[in-house]
Structure 1
Amino acid sequence: MITYQFINALSDAAPQSHLIASATCTHLPETALVAEMRESASIADTRFGCAPFARITLLPDALWQDSLTEGLLAALRPLLASPVSPELILDVTDIDDVVLAQVLRFLFNQAHRLSDLQLKKTCDSVRLERITALCLPEQQDRLAAIFRQQQAIAQGMVAARRLADIPSDRCHAAVCGGRGAKALCRLSCPAV
C-alpha cells in the first residue's frame, strides 16, 4: 500500500526523493539549475545536480489547474513509468482539487503493476511507496480528506484488479468467500 504524509518545507523531505512541482513553486531552492528549469515553457526534468533529490521535475503552471484535458496526468505517466525513487514529493500548494483527485488516484494505483502477476521474468525495479505532499499548514486539513478519499478509491481499484487476476480454477467459494474476502477487506479496512 502506498502511504502519504504532509510537509510544509522541502527541508522536511526524505533525501533522494523525486520532487514534482510547478515552475512557480516558491519552496524550490534558489540554484542556477532551478532558475534555468523555471525558464522552460514546457516540462523541465533533471536527475543530475539536483541533490538532495534524486530527480526534480518542474511542470508548467497551467497543467496544475487543467481539470478538463488531464494534462498533468499525461505529463506524469511517462515520468513515473520507471520511478527513480520510492519517495515522491508533490507540490500541492496551488493545484485544482479535481486535478489533485485525478493525480492522487493515478499515483495510489501505482501499487498494482502487471509485472505483479509474474507472467514473465522481470528485473526488480523501484516502486512508489510514499507520496509526500508539500503544502501550506492551513491547507493540510482540507488536503487530508482528499488524500484519504483517493487512497481508499485506489485501494478498491487495486483490490478489484487483484481479484480479477486470480485464475478461475483457484477462485471458488471457499477461497473467495473466506480468505479472499477477508484479504480484500483488509486492503481497504486495515483494522479487520
Structure 2
Amino acid sequence: METIKNIHTRRSIRNYSDQPVSKEELQEILEAGTWAPSGVNLQPWYFVALHSPEERAKMEEIMVRVSDRLEPSLKARFATAPSVVDETVTFVRSLGGAPVYILAFQLKPDYENAADMVNLSIGAALENILLSANDKGLGTCWLTAPVETQVGDELRDLFAPGKGSLVALVTLGYPEKEGKAPKRKDGRFVII
C-alpha cells in the first residue's frame, strides 16, 4: 500500500470480528515496530502481545476496573454526549472483542535520558505497528486508559516483570466494520 494512502486509511477500530490473527502476521507487525527511529538509538520499547485466550482473559479482568475508574472523567468531559461515554466504557471493558492485545512498555525500569524522549520513541514504534497492521487489512486502537487509571504497574508485574513503565495498549484484529475518519482540526500546522 502507498504510504500516504496507508496513513489516510488507518482508523481506530473498536469492534473486531472473531477472525484470528496468525502468529506470523503478529510477528511481522511487532517486527515493524522495532524498526522505528528512537532517540540516541535506545530502542527503548518492549512489546508483549497477548494472543492466547487465557492471557487475554487476565487483561479483560483488569480492564473492567479500568473502565469503572475511567467512567467519571468521561462523563465530565462528554456531559452532553452520553452515548460517547457508553460506547467508550463498553469498548474499554471488552476491548472490542479483539483477538490480540499489545502492551507497550519501556524496556528498562529506569533510563538516564528524559522519559519524554523514551516515550516519544515508543510512540514512533507504536505508529509503525498501527500502519503495518492497516497495511495487512487489520484494525487497531491505541489506548492509554490503563496508564491514566494507574494499573500500569499491575500490568507490568503480570506480563513484563522487570521491565519499565507501561506506555500504551493496542487492540489488534480484523475489523467488524469499516471505521470512520473523524474530521481533521484546522490550525494544526504552519509553513513559514
Taking structure 2 as the reference length, the TM-score comes to 0.24
Point out which structure has higher relative CO (alpha carbons under 8 A, 6+ apart): 2
| Largest Rg, 1 or 2 | 1
Taking structure 1 as the reference length, the TM-score comes to 0.24
Bigger fraction of residues in helix: 2
